[in-house]
Each structure stands twice: as C-alpha cells, then as structure tokens.
C-alpha cells in the first residue's frame, strides 16, 4: 500500500525532471543544425574546387557550381532552423520555469559553434572564394577574408561572454538587446546565401561581402539597441489580429522564403542603427537598464 501511495509522487518528480531536459533538447537541436551547416559548407567547398572558377566559369564547371549552390543553400537552411530551435529553448525554459545554469552554459557553447563558427565558414566559402582564388593576388590580400571571418567568430564569442557576465546583474528592461544578437548576425549571412544561392565569382562583389561581414561583427560588439521581443508573453490573451499577422508571416516565409527572410534580416540589422540615430536626434528619458542578451 505504501508503495502504491508513493507512486503518484514519484511520477510527478519524474515529469518534473523530464521538463528540465526539454529545453536542453532544443539546444542540442541548435547544435546539430550548426554541425550540419559546417558539413554542407565543406561539401560545397569541394564542389567549388572541382569547378575551378578562375579565371572564369567554363561550361564544364556548371554542374559542380550547381551542386555547390545546393549545398550552400542547405547550410543556410540549417542555420535558419537553428535560429528557430534557439528561440524555442529559452522560451520553453521560461514558460515551464525550468531554467538552469547548465542550460544557460550549454546554450552559450552551442551558440558559439552554430551562430559563430558555422556562418563564418559559410560566409567565407560562399562569398570570398573568388577573392582568395583570384590569380596574381598577393598573399597578404588572400589573408584578409580569413581575418575578417575569424573576427566574426571572435566578436560573436565576445558577445556571448558579455551576455554571460551581464545575466548575473539585475535587469529590469527586457525590451532591448545591447548589440546585435549573434543569432541575428548568423541569420543575416544565411538569408543572403539562401537568396542568391550561387556563390560569388567576381572579386568586386567579394569585397562588398567582406565589408558586410565585418560590419556584422562590429554590430555584435556595439552598444546599439535591438528589440528583443522577450516581453511578448504567449500566456496572455491576444487579439485575433495577432494570430492573423503571424499566420500571414509564416505563410509568406513558406511560399517566398528567399525575399521574405532577406527582408526580415536586413530590416532587423539596420533597426539598431535607426534606433541609435533617432535617439541622438530626439533624446528621451533614460530607460531602465537594458538586457545584454545573446
């Protein structure tokens, strides 16, 4: 009888322990997507080497170029799913009240790989191969893409380290991130690759892409404010218009993923710059301390 009476309690404890594992499973999903993106990018690099794009695109290179474009697009899609998983793990932890120090550390380590290393390799392979492989280019110029993409990784890691330090500080304003979140920077890279797919084959466009990647790294470690959307409480009752808007956005992404995702990525990237400019032009009373999130 005592054993039967204790079973409901044991079952509740088991369910509770299972709830703590649930957010970490989404974090593992984020890490799996990042790992797959790296493998897909490496496969694309092999196809690009077979295509031998320098000094130009030959008819024999077309099949290899198509395979490389498909592999790069798969890598970009994987990063997109990683952003979804990354957004769900923290929200699920908050909704179920199962946040833990282990989950936070695991999330940061996964973010370094998925949103730091994977998009840097993707940006290098997709947009800078033409500059690196161009004949007659001095070695010190060939090293610049490597340096810029490595800087992207370092800026992302510094962004996460600052977040880990600031989480122990009391914060009251959850409306903004300070600095561009690393998933958003990775999403920008993924959205561009997903939109164009075919890798860049001219050094002029490679230089433009190089500058863009450098700007993304700067935005991550800057003090610019970005909307966090953490104040959106799914447990509260919402107007049916919100449901309609969300459904339309999801449908647009499903049907027109290339232009819609690119538009969203560019809009969010420049939103911090716009907020900085408007705050300079129209000063406002100081807000509560902002959250320095990843």
Highest mean pLDDT among 9-23, 124-138, 169-183, 187-201: 187-201
Residue 131 has pLDDT above 70, yes or no: yes
Tell me the C-alpha distance between 125 and 69, whole Å: 11
At 176, phi and psi to the nearest 5?
Answer: -130, 150
Answer yes or no: pTM beyond 0.85.
no
Which CA distances in Å does 74 have to 80, 164, 175, 257, 259?
A: 10, 31, 33, 13, 17
**Closest Cα to residue 82, out of 112, 115, 38?**
115
Indicate the pLDDT class of residue 265, thresholds 50, 70 and 90.
very high
At 214, phi and psi to the nearest 5?
Answer: -65, -40
Residue 61 has pLDDT above 80, yes or no: no
Which CA distances in Å does 117 have to 134, 157, 264?
A: 24, 9, 22
Residue 15 has pLDDT above 50, yes or no: no
Higher local confidence (pLDDT), 283 or 110: 110
């Amino acid at each position: 009888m005592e054993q039967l009476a204790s079973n409901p309690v044991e079952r509740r404890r088991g369910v509770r322990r299972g709830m703590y594992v649930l957010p970490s499973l989404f974090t593992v999903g984020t890490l799996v997507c990042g790992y797959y993106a790296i493998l897909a990018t490496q496969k694309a690099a092999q196809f690009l080497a077979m295509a031998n794009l320098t000094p130009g695109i030959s008819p024999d290179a077309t099949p290899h170029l198509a395979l490389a474009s498909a592999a790069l697009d798969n890598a970009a899609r994987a990063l997109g799913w990683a952003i979804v998983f990354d957004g769900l793990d923290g929200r699920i932890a908050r909704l179920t009240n199962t946040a833990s120090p282990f989950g936070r550390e695991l999330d940061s380590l996964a973010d370094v790989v998925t949103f730091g290393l994977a998009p840097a390799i993707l940006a290098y392979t997709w947009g800078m191969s033409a500059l690196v492989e161009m004949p007659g280019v001095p070695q010190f110029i060939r090293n610049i893409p490597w340096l810029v993409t490595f800087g992207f990784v370092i800026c992302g890691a510094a962004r996460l380290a600052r977040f880990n330090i600031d989480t122990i500080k009391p914060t009251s304003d959850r409306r903004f991130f300070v600095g561009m979140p690393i998933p958003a920077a990775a999403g920008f890279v993924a959205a561009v690759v997903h939109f164009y797919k075919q890798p860049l084959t001219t050094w002029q466009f490679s230089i433009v892409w190089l500058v863009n990647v450098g700007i993304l790294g700067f935005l991550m470690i800057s003090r610019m404010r970005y909307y966090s959307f953490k104040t959106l409480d799914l447990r509260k009752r919402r107007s049916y218009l919100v449901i309609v808007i969300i459904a339309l956005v999801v449908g647009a992404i499903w049907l027109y993923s290339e232009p819609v995702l690119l538009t969203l990525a560019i809009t969010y990237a420049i939103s911090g710059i716009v907020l900085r400019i408007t705050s300079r032009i129209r000063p406002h009373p100081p807000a509560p301390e902002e959250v320095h999130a990843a």
